[in-house]
A and B are shown apart, each in its own frame.
Chain A
Amino acid sequence: MIKHLFKLVWNRKRANILIVAEMFFSFLVLFAVVAFGLYYADSYRQPLGFSYENVWNIFVISRASDPQNVLTTKQMLYQALKDLNEVEAVAGAQTAVPYESNRSRRRHSHRGRSILVEVGRVTDDFKEVLGLKIIHGRWFEKADDALGWDPVIINQRFSREMFGSEDPLGKNIASAKAIREVRVVGVVSDFRKHGELSQSVNFLLERILFQKPSFDNFMIRVRPGAPATFEEKLMAQLQAIVQDWTFHIRPMSQMRASYLKLRLAPLITAGLIAAFLMMIVGLGLMGVLYQNVTQRTKEIGLRRANGATAEHIYKQILGELLVITTFGVAAGTLIIVQFPLLRWFAFISGKVYIISLAISVAMMYLLTVLCGLYPARLATKVHPAEALHYE
């Protein structure tokens, strides 16, 4: 039966090759949309590792030629923020402010294994401000000032990649040339700085000393229920300390909202366009099949006269369609499996990739069957007598 269907399709290969091409391209489009959709949905589901509610960021543009002056001013600002009633905790941060796009990366190595990791620099109160969760070891503490090595906190993903199932605590990950050792003191579940729509990456938090604050962001946790006017008051306080500097105060929930808006708008647009493309393909396919059926009246009539039931005809038309779809999908799959081999789109995990492939194959068959139903039913209506007296 199947062999026969292939033969039928093969006999009309000139006409069918174009339909196969159409299936092929639509399959690629469908896969791309499903894969990206799933990738973002999957990312969105993963825990962020921090909480953004009641957290505000203050970006500081300092203006002073003398570094000592910058230092004392920042210390004054820190103290002033701490003294405010509405503020629960204050931290300094550099390349560690969530939803901001800047990043700093470097290589760390352990026993000859070198891995690229994103680095954020924070002060000791950062954990309290952002509600980070230590799952192993400890957070930074005051006593770390006296250490002869640099303590760092890493996320679970980095720990797994660098140390496998080994305990990362106390291990030195400094590069071979470094003078000071860099030792892991704790592991956080995760810290997804780049927000809900990003995948988890290797992350490392480094300690900034308040004696030499090299950071441009103060992050504060505001007491829940602080009045809306607090922001203006805060700004006035900061400006009063140093008139020349510029401050940007932003609640993190606002930063998150604009981040989501900016990232989602192109995704939604692409999804809508793809949906319309699929609709066009579906309608076009229906037209083509309809046309084919009306032109094959003779052949179908002959089959009916020889005793084929309506169900047989139905099966033949849909069967041929499925064979054509299979050609298109197979060609598409052949292309799609090249991407992981070429390390393209490597950020999409294997699991998401395979599931997307399965879903898009299923959707492709569903689409073609839906488009084939009406023309196939039309074919069963062909009356043998009429068909045979065609000539």
Chain B
Amino acid sequence: MLKNYVKTAFKVFLRRKFFTFISLFAISFTLTVLMVATALLDHVFGPLPPEVKTDRTLGVYELRWEVEAGDSRSAQDGPISYAFLDRYVRTLPDVERVSIFTHFFSSPVTSYKDGEKIESYLRRTDGEFWKIFEFNFVEGGPFTTQDEKDANFVAVINEATRKRFFGDQSAAGKTVEVDGQRFRVVGVVANVPIFRPVPFADIWVPISTSKTRDHLDRQNLLGGFQALVLARKPSDVPRTKEAFRVSLSRVEFPNPGHTNRLYAQAETFFEAVSQRLVGSKEESHPERLLAVIVGFMILFMLLPTINLINLNVSRILERASEIGVRKTFGASSRTLIGQFVVENVLLTLIGGLIGFILSFLVLQMLTHSGLIQYAEFHINHRIFLYGLLIALFFGVFSGVYPAYKMSRLHPAEALRRRA
């Protein structure tokens, strides 16, 4: 039966080519925009290298510290001090690994090469960092926990930085000078795009090579650091979150006598973002952010949907004779609705296919425009699946009402009309 529907549908599409073109144009454009949006979201939040263990990685990104003393209240929030993370996160029980590293800082550091300025984003990390993330090393390897302990001036750089400093030559063993410090390159990794702010950098060096030892100061809870916790398995994640909550409750404050309140969570990156955008200081509400994203997508579909409905409703009478015959021979309204929805979904799927090709082109353009540093967009199976889902939803969403209208045509009336 489905085969018959498909056959009829193709006949109908070919009968009025101009209308099929208008519909396809609208459908493929709408789906292109939605698919590109999905691809961008996937590239920001999805499990892509080096962040492949997203299902069991939790971050402690920011801390809010409120102090109350008599009438005066003060609050600070932001990245966290090294000493704090070292004491209360690195000691978490039953986790596979913990890494501490500097947060993403928007000002790059400067180097000069033959009078040319080179700006690089510098991140200071420990050795564990390289075991939580799976960077793709094109040369050499990471620095180790021992390197960090011994304050060795070693660095891992990305391919773009290698090109800037050494052209097309290999970099391992050579030195780079950044921000007035000299590092020996031990490894070169593939570029990580800037919208992956946790692993992103141009140059990674050990924390112990910092210019000062301020980060070891225990007086302040806030500082320039963040931590990642790798749970042993995905099902351990809730337990790890709870362990961090317990750990928070035993924080010693540098100002006894004041009322202190701390807000921080071990959370996924998506949870951290949703807390900033739609959550409160206590809770993150990732489901709200998801609802907002889906809401925006449906809102965007609204206009093309009404457009498609209008077009289809205005074409009902084209099918009058067919509907009349089918009804007189006993087809129920429900079967007819089914048939017309299938037709619409079929058209949407063709539009979706065109949409995929267009999204691919748009993403290629975006990659080559260099608008987003080191961004390389690809279509993967997740994006394909979401795209298919969106196309199906759009097909049903825009097909039900015209199908319903068509099925309501009175058989006698329908047959009376000239085909």
A287 contacts B33, CB within 8 Å? Answer: no
**With A63-B211, A265-B371: A281-B307 Cβ-Cβ less than 8 Å:** yes
Known contacts A15-B313, A25-B306, A284-B307; decide if A273 and B33 are in contact (CB<8 Å).
Answer: yes
Stretch with Cβ within 8 A of A (4 or more), from B17-25, B88-96, B139-147, B236-244? B17-25
Q: Which residue of A lies closest to B29 (CB)?
A: A276
Contact B179 A63 (CB under 8 A): no
Partner of B310, one of A18, A232, A245: A18
Known: A232-B112, A280-B25, A281-B303. A15 touches B180 (CB 8 A): no
- Chain B residues with CB under 8 Å of A45's CB are none
A residues in contact with B310, CB < 8 Å: 18-19, 22, 284-285, 288
* A291 and B314 contact, CB distance less than 8 A: yes
Counting CB contacts under 8 A, is B11 at the interface? Answer: no
Which of A65, A244, A280, A390 contacts B304, CB < 8 Å?
Answer: A280
**Which of A246-254, A309-317, A330-338, A360-368 is near enough to bind chain B?**
A246-254
Kindly list chain B residues whose C-beta atoms are within 8 Å of the C-beta of A244. 211-212
A11 partner residues in chain B, CB cutoff 8 A:
none
Say yes or no: B311 contacts A287, CB within 8 Å: yes
Whether the Cβ atoms of A246 and B179 lie closer than 8 Å is yes
A68 CB-CB contact with B under 8 Å: no
- Tell me which of B102-110, B260-268, B380-388 binds A: B102-110
- Which residues from A are CB-within-8-Å of B308? 284
Q: What separation, in Å, do the CA atoms of A281 and B30 have in the docked complex?
A: 12
User: Is the C-beta of B174 less than 8 angstroms from some C-beta in chain A?
Assistant: no
Residues of A within 8 A of B304 (CB): 277, 280
A25 lies within 8 A of B22 (CB): no
Check: A261 CB closer than 8 A to any chain B CB. yes
Fill in one digit per residue for B285-309: 1 if any A CB lies within 8 Å of its CB, else 0. 0000000000000000011101111
Q: Are B314 and A287 in contact (CB under 8 A)?
A: yes
- Determine the main DSSP class of B at the interface with A: helix
- Does residue A306 face the partner (Cβ distance < 8 Å to B)? no
Q: Is B26 an interface residue (CB 8 A)?
A: yes
B306 touches A22 (CB 8 A): yes
Task: Using A280-B25, A284-B307 as known contacts, say yes or no to A18 and B180 having CB atoms under 8 A apart.
Answer: no
Tell me if A85 counts as interface (CB < 8 A to partner B).
no
Q: Is B354 an interface residue (CB 8 A)?
A: no
Residues from chain A with a CB closer than 8 A to the CB of B117 are 231-232
In the complex, the chain A residue whose C-beta lies closest to that of B27 is: A280
User: A235 to B302, alpha carbons, bound, how many Å?
Assistant: 55
Q: How far is the CB of B373 from chain A (nearest CB, A)?
A: 11
Whole-angstrom distance between the Cβ of A85 and the nearest chain B Cβ: 18
Of the candidates B212, B309, B418, the one whose C-beta lies within 8 Å of that of A18 is B309
Residues in A330-386 with C-beta less than 8 Å from chain B: none
Nearest residue (CB) in B for A16 is B310
CB < 8 Å: which of B212, B307, B313 contacts A63? B212
Q: Of the candidates B29, B112, B211, B311, which one forms a contact with A288 in the assembled complex, judged by CB atoms under 8 Å apart?
A: B311
Q: Are A277 and B303 in contact (CB-based, < 8 A)? A: yes
- Give the docked Cα–Cα distance between A235 and B180 (Å): 10
The listed residue with most A CB atoms (<10 A of its CB), out of B18, B179, B371, is B179
B99-136 interface bits toward A, Cβ cutoff 8 Å, 1 = contact, 0 = none: 00000000111101001010000000000000000000
A303 to B110 CA separation, bound complex (whole angstroms): 80
Q: How far, in angstroms, from A273 to B296 measured CA to CA in the complex?
A: 14
Q: Does A165 contact B (CB under 8 A)?
A: no
Contact A283 B25 (CB under 8 A): yes
* 28 A-B contact pairs sorted by A residue (CB < 8 Å): A18-B306, A18-B309, A18-B310, A19-B310, A59-B107, A239-B180, A243-B180, A244-B212, A245-B211, A246-B211, A247-B110, A249-B110, A265-B371, A273-B33, A280-B29, A280-B30, A280-B303, A281-B307, A283-B25, A284-B22, A284-B311, A285-B307, A286-B22, A287-B19, A287-B311, A288-B310, A288-B311, A295-B317
- Known pairs A280-B304, A283-B25, A287-B311; list 10 more (Cβ under 8 Å): A18-B310, A22-B306, A25-B303, A235-B110, A243-B180, A246-B109, A277-B303, A283-B22, A283-B26, A287-B19
Q: Which 4 A-B pairs have the closest CB atoms?
A: A284-B307, A291-B314, A232-B112, A280-B26
A interface with B by C-beta (< 8 Å): 15, 18-19, 21-22, 25-26, 29, 59, 61, 63, 65, 228-229, 231-232, 235, 239, 243-249, 261, 265, 273, 276-277, 280-281, 283-288, 291-292, 295, 390
